[in-house]
Amino acid sequence: MLNNIGLPGLLLIVIVTVVLFGRGKVSGIMGELGTGLTAFKRGLREAEDPAKQESDVSRGTDATTESSHLDGKS
């Protein structure tokens, strides 16, 4: 059922939502949704960083040593 929704269907949903809730309320909800998604992505990125640092420490390297080897510096 949902795989048949095209552009006219989406426009109808948007129009009905704006009429029911008002433009200001919908705008606020979308802003909060964007803020929440940004915070979620930041949290995922921060969760990956400690894991990467732990793997670098277990290999006996760190980011500065690794980058200097890539640049050809000793």
Q: Of 55, 53, 73, nearest to 65 (Cα)?
A: 73
Phi, psi (deg, nearest 5) at residue 40: -65, -45
Question: Rounded to two decimals, what is the model's pTM?
Answer: 0.47
Residue 8: helix, strand or coil by DSSP?
A: helix
pLDDT on residue 51: 66
Q: Are 56 and 66 in contact (CB under 8 A)?
A: yes
Per-residue pLDDT of the chain (74 residues; tens, 9 = 90+): 567 889 999 999 999 999 999 989 989 999 999 999 999 999 999 888 776 766 666 666 555 555 555 555 55
pLDDT on residue 11: 94
In the chain, domain spans: 45-74
pLDDT on residue 5: 83
Residue 27: helix, strand or coil by DSSP?
A: helix
